[in-house]
Structure formats: structure tokens, C-alpha cells
Structure 1
Amino acid sequence: MPTRPAVHLAIPVDDLDAARQFYGGVLGLEEGRHSDHWIDWNWHGHQLVTHAVTGDIAAQGVSEVDGHHVPVPHFGLLLQAKEFHLLAERLRTAGVEFVIDPYLRFPGRPAEQWTMFFRDPAGNALEFKAFADERQVFTR
């Protein structure tokens, strides 16, 4: 049992082998239980489940943020800065195309943060962030 609340997130994918290569190979997540239709992933202590679906995966929109077209919906994690930059390099090495390249938002301000967006092989949008001061995550 987790000592803190953990998130359970289920997402659609159209190819479990591609999901396995991306989430296990590129992102380096530990694979958990699985079947012919889904795979559980240990997503930094949270449960991420990739479910094979047939047909079209829902279309996504965008929201204008800081002059960028942010894909919506999206999901992601808050990382330490070192982990963020290591992941960005790992993604570059794997040839993952960024929707929004890693960049620093709000430099010198309380909510200073690194952020990046990319998609998995099924088109699900992911955002990873690293705050200079994690206590500022909800600062207005």
C-alpha cells in the first residue's frame, strides 16, 4: 500500500508493442501486470495503464499558453530538474519529436519551471515539468 496517495491513469493506445517500446524502452518505466489488452506501468510510484483500443483515438485540441499551442488533453509528471534534463536528452537520443521543445518558463519568478511536451506512438500528449522550487507549484 502506498504511504501517500497515488494516481491511477488509464490511456488508450492502438498498438501495445509500440506502447511497450515507448513506455518501457524510451521512458524506462518498469512494466507490471499485463494481458493481451493492457499493460500496467510503474510511473514514478503511480499506476499508468495503457489499454489497447480499436478505432480512432479521440481527437485532441490545443490551448494557447505562452505563445505555444499546448495539446489538450495531456498528462505528465513533475520531476526534479536533473531528471527533467536527463529525460529530455533520452527523448532526443531516441528520436522523439517534441510538440514543444524543453524551455524555461517564468525565469526568475516564483513559478520558474522547465517544461516540455511530446506524444507517445498513439498520439497521447505528455508534459513533463521541473520547478526551481517545488513549493511554488500552485503559486498564483
Structure 2
Amino acid sequence: MRPFHLAIPVTDLAAARHFYGQVFGCPEGRSAETWVDFDFFGHQLVVHLAPPAAITRNAVDGDAVPVPHFGMVLDWAGWEALAARITAAGHVFEIAPHVRFAGQPGEQGTFFLFDPAGNALEFKAMRHPENLFAR
């Protein structure tokens, strides 16, 4: 799989550096006065100083999911470890870690949180990774 590139708005570069660099453990790449690159699980995430994005919500399996959002599909152990790391750092989940679509082909662990600029992130792990796109 080829890495994606995603640029998102942040309102405070120091807070973004702490959140993505320290809480998530993402190595920092290039930077300038108004932006910073991160190695986001092998993908290029760039945070740019800009006004925050508007968030709406959609119902998904009983949760009010923030839109837009982005994140990663991790293996189950990595998903649990990241949830524990975020908890240990004292960050609050918007939607706490839980299993969604239980007993269905798309069964997955999921959690949501916001970065300091209000960008919504989802991290998930598929019970059966081969079913990522199953109907």
C-alpha cells in the first residue's frame, strides 16, 4: 500500500507537536513557521496553521460519529496499545474504545477523539482484517 498525504488545519503548532509527536509517538519531519510534517503510521500528515474545520455528526451503529474525520486501521494489538497510550496521556475519547457491528462481517474495534485543534480522528481494528471492505 502506498502512503497517503493529508493536510489538516490546526490553531496551535506547539499543541499539535505535543499531540501527534508525544501522545501518538509520530516522528516529526520537515517544518516551517506555519506547518509541520509527521510520520503518521507510515503516512504523511501535515498540520497547517489555519482556522478550525466545522464538524457535523452522522449516526453509525448507535454512535454520533464526527464528520469529517480521519485515522488508521490498525491490527488489534496495535489498536489496544494506542487506546492505552492515549488514556495514559490523559486525553478524553469522544467515543470510547468499543466493538462496533458485533457478529457482522465488518466487526471492528473503534474509538474517536479530537486533536487540540478540533480535528476528529478515528482508529479502528477489524476483527477479521480481510473484511475491511466486506458488505
TM range (shorter): over 0.9
How far is 1:135 from its partner? 0.9
Query: Normalising to structure 1: TM-score of the pair?
Result: 0.93
Residue 91 of structure 2 corresponds to residue 121 of structure 1: no
- Matched AA of 1:125: A
Contact 2:111–2:123 (Cα < 8 Å) also in 1 = yes
Tell me the distance in 2 between the aligned counterparts of 1:129 and 1:118.
12
- Match for 2:31 among 28, 31, 34? 34
How far is 1:5 from its partner? 1.8
How far is 1:6 from its partner? 1.5
Count of residues in Structure 1 that have an aligned counterpart in Structure 2: 135
How far is 1:107 from its partner? 2.3
Query: Which residue pairs with 1:45 in the alignment?
Result: 42
How far is 1:106 from its partner? 2.2
Query: Which residue pairs with 2:8 in the alignment?
Result: 11
RMSD: 0.9
Query: Which residue pairs with 1:88 in the alignment?
Result: 83
Tell me the distance in 2 between the aligned counterparts of 1:68 and 1:22.
24
Tell me the distance in 1 between the aligned counterparts of 2:88 and 2:125.
20
Query: Which residue pairs with 1:63 in the alignment?
Result: 58
Percent of aligned positions that are identical? 51
The worse-fitting range, judged by mean Cα deviation, of 23-32 and 56-65 is: 56-65
Tell me the distance in 2 between the aligned counterparts of 1:89 and 1:133.
22
Tell me the distance in 1 between the aligned counterparts of 2:53 and 2:129.
33
Paired residue secondary structure (1:98): coil
Tell me the distance in 2 between the aligned counterparts of 1:135 and 1:108.
15
The worse-fitting range, judged by mean Cα deviation, of 105-114 and 32-41 is: 105-114
How far is 1:68 from its partner? 1.1
Instruction: Name stretches of at least 5 consecutive residues in structure 1 with no aligned partner.
Output: none
Query: Which residue pairs with 2:131 in the alignment?
Result: 136
Tell me the distance in 1 between the aligned counterparts of 2:60 and 2:107.
15
Query: Normalising to structure 2: TM-score of the pair?
Result: 0.96
Instruction: Name stretches of at least 5 consecutive residues in structure 2 with no aligned partner.
Output: none
